[in-house]
Structure 1
Amino acid sequence: MALDWAAGLKKANDVYPPIVLLYAGAKSGKTSLAGEFPDPFYVRTGEGERPPAGVEMMSFGVSESYADIVDQMDWMLSEEHDRKTFVLDAADGLEIHIRDEACSRNGWKDIEEPGFGKGYAAESAIWREFIAKALKLKLAGYYVVIISHVKAKTVPGVTTESYPRYMPNLRDEAVGIIVDASDLIGFLHQRVSIVKEEAGFKKTNKRGASGGDIVIAVQERPGFIAGNRYDIPEAVLPFKRGEGFSAIAKYLPAELWEAAGAD
């Protein structure tokens, strides 16, 4: 699309619904939170992905290929319906479909066949196709929520020794592509404190303790990936079932949370 020089300069404010990346460990509430977004359309990437008890979302069933997922995005863009949020569960499953798609397009038996990283480069190109389609959904007025499981990876410190960092359970380049496009990256986890216990013989043991409360981290920290474009002052937001979207929505552009009926 060519630049419209005649139209002059315009404000580049983003008043569209966000692309949201939610990731967490198993049974931490990420799908429950996604289900609180307005009128969700639920896209499953595998049999193992399904809403927990008490969460209802409309779906066409399990996607068996990358094409199935794109077709559902196109359906949302072109057909009449009452859905307002595209929910993908989960990015881990999408990565498998994207890898199969890259191999199918190029006639490879597996992603390693071409060598020299060419297979993974083709895979990344398809990830960018998916994100381009997600951006079309956003600009058409739909929320986009991408769910992922979590992994811990040891990363080198800039001025410290290496340390573990939590991030979505994807190849690093795929993580970068999704994170760059996301307006909010939320890491759901339990609040944890370290308890020291005397073990005798002048030794002390340490263990993690938690009351079980789940929070949504929305600011980057050395130990995990998170962030947002909304200048949210709190590093973490509370997450209680039925109130998770409201905790996020009040920081979105006013037009969005007013339309959603959030407090």
Structure 2
Amino acid sequence: MLNIIEGKEQRPKKIVIYGPEGIGKSTFASQFPDPLFIDTEGGTSNLDVRRIKCNKSWNELIAIVKEIHANPHICKTVVLDTADWSETLCTNAVCEKYRKNNIEDFGYGKGYVYLVDEYARLLSLLDQLIEVGINVVITAHAKPRKFELPEEQGSFDRYEMKLSRQVAPLIKEWSDALFFVNYKIYVVTTDTNKKKAQGGKRVLYTTHNPTYDAKNRFDLPEELELDFKAIAHLFETYDVPAEQVMDYDSKDVTTLAFVEQLKKKLEEDDITEEQLQKVVAAKGHYELETPISDYSDDFITRWIIPNWKKIVETIKNEKGEQ
């Protein structure tokens, strides 16, 4: 039977933001609803945000996205910072898997075929975050590429994402909006008839232009101020699948579910409740005697789950010293 849906669907958004280094891409992304950064390049150190550092392994990045999908109430927005560094992790993983020194060693472009397949797997996992009610933001650096006009009419620089020619189209097609961030420069003529550049205001470009890539599916103006308020209306409401909706008024039921999930993780990693209590107490979050059943759901989802790997490492290291 056909499942016909009429009209617009309000759902979480897939946003890509790219621009020159230091222009404020990560700061802008930090203004999205309840963001959790997956930091692949260490560029969020000066931001007051929640982050999971992931700069060593592609498999670790995949595992983090899967973990967030399994715990969708950790955040409302996942920010992958940045696309180009994540592509580097992906490239390294492909080369390691096939025992090549670099992506060009495959010959006949076969290495890039593997790269595209692997990166598409990440985008598919990010799509699954959308299905459970989480916005996804990807940041990327920009690079100019010289574009030659036909019939020797000249050339100009065109900004695009600092990605391979194989991965960049994947991300552009995947996104609901591709925003280009840059400084708006005006050229004025002085009294002595000289041309002088002025301005420097940061602008968000939302539609395609010969000098940069951009797009949006929301009928936005061509230029916006680099302020989340300019696009905040896109995130006011969206539909979450019924099976993902939890009754937050039933706090006891919600907390019990999180505690049971935590106990399952303890069992999987062969860790006792007492060992976890020691780590929590050492960090000053709860008294040592506090049972994990008394931990708040907010503490479990916002501190324990995001830091689970570090907690396990701490406990294993203490075991080794004994």
Relative to the length of structure 2, the TM-score reads 0.68
Q: Partner letter of residue 190 of structure 1?
A: Y
1:35 and 2:52 aligned? no
Match of 2:163 among 152, 160, 170: 170
Match of 2:197 among 208, 218, 238: 208
Match of 1:225 among 202, 213, 217: 213
Give the whole-Å Cα distance in 2 for the aligned partners of 1:80 and 1:21.
21
Structure 1, 176-185 or 134-143: larger mean CA deviation: 134-143
Match of 1:106 among 57, 74, 98: 98
Measured after TM superposition, the shift of residue 82 of structure 1 is: 3.1
Aligned residue pair count: 238
Q: Secondary structure at the match of 1:145?
A: strand
Give the whole-Å Cα distance in 1 for the aligned partners of 2:195 and 2:7.
50
1:249 and 2:218 aligned? no
> Superposition RMSD on alpha carbons, in Å?
2.2
Match of 2:172 in 1: 179
Q: Residues 80, 130 of structure 1: CA spacing in aligned structure 2 closer, same or farther, 3 A cutoff?
A: closer
Q: Secondary structure at the match of 2:115?
A: helix
Give the whole-Å Cα distance in 1 for the aligned partners of 2:190 and 2:123.
48
Measured after TM superposition, the shift of residue 198 of structure 1 is: 7.8
Name structure 1 gaps, 5 residues minimum. 1-5, 258-263
Alpha carbons 1:32, 1:51 under 8 Å: kept: no
Alpha carbons 2:78, 2:137 under 8 Å: kept: yes
Measured after TM superposition, the shift of residue 10 of structure 1 is: 2.3
Match of 1:238 in 2: 225
Q: Secondary structure at the match of 1:7?
A: coil
Alpha carbons 1:86, 1:144 under 8 Å: kept: yes
Q: Secondary structure at the match of 2:80?
A: strand
Q: Residues 134, 157 of structure 1: CA spacing in aligned structure 2 closer, same or farther, 3 A cutoff?
A: farther
Give the whole-Å Cα distance in 1 for the aligned partners of 2:122 and 2:13.
16
Q: Residues 89, 8 of structure 1: CA spacing in aligned structure 2 closer, same or farther, 3 A cutoff?
A: closer
Alpha carbons 1:137, 1:144 under 8 Å: kept: yes
Give the whole-Å Cα distance in 1 for the aligned partners of 2:130 and 2:204.
22
Alpha carbons 2:119, 2:167 under 8 Å: kept: yes
Give the whole-Å Cα distance in 2 for the aligned partners of 1:217 and 1:24.
10
Match of 1:92 among 84, 88, 92: 84
Structure 1, 34-43 or 150-159: larger mean CA deviation: 150-159
Q: Residues 158, 57 of structure 1: CA spacing in aligned structure 2 closer, same or farther, 3 A cutoff?
A: farther
Name structure 2 gaps, 5 residues minimum. 240-322
Q: Partner letter of residue 197 of structure 2?
A: G
Alpha carbons 2:185, 2:201 under 8 Å: kept: no
Alpha carbons 2:68, 2:74 under 8 Å: kept: no
* The structure with more helix, counted as a fraction of residues: 2
Q: Residues 238, 80 of structure 1: CA spacing in aligned structure 2 closer, same or farther, 3 A cutoff?
A: closer
Alpha carbons 1:46, 1:64 under 8 Å: kept: no
Q: Secondary structure at the match of 2:56?
A: coil
Deviations 1:191-244 (A, max 9, x none): 111234588xxxx6544321x321110111111111101111x111112xxxx2
Give the whole-Å Cα distance in 2 for the aligned partners of 1:254 and 1:37.
11
Q: Residues 195, 113 of structure 1: CA spacing in aligned structure 2 closer, same or farther, 3 A cutoff?
A: same
Q: Residues 14, 172 of structure 1: CA spacing in aligned structure 2 closer, same or farther, 3 A cutoff?
A: farther
Alpha carbons 2:35, 2:77 under 8 Å: kept: yes
Measured after TM superposition, the shift of residue 100 of structure 1 is: 0.6
Relative to the length of structure 1, the TM-score reads 0.83
Give the whole-Å Cα distance in 1 for the aligned partners of 2:59 and 2:9.
29
Among all aligned residue pairs of Structure 1 and Structure 2, give the percentage whose two residues are the same amino acid: 24
Alpha carbons 1:166, 1:224 under 8 Å: kept: yes
Give the whole-Å Cα distance in 2 for the aligned partners of 1:118 and 1:135.
26
Structure 1: 4+ residue segments shifted above 6 A: none
RCO greater where, 1 or 2, for CA within 8 Å and sep 6 or more? 1
Structure with the greater alpha carbon radius of gyration: 2
Alpha carbons 2:55, 2:89 under 8 Å: kept: no
Give the whole-Å Cα distance in 1 for the aligned partners of 2:3 and 2:39.
43
Q: Secondary structure at the match of 2:157?
A: strand
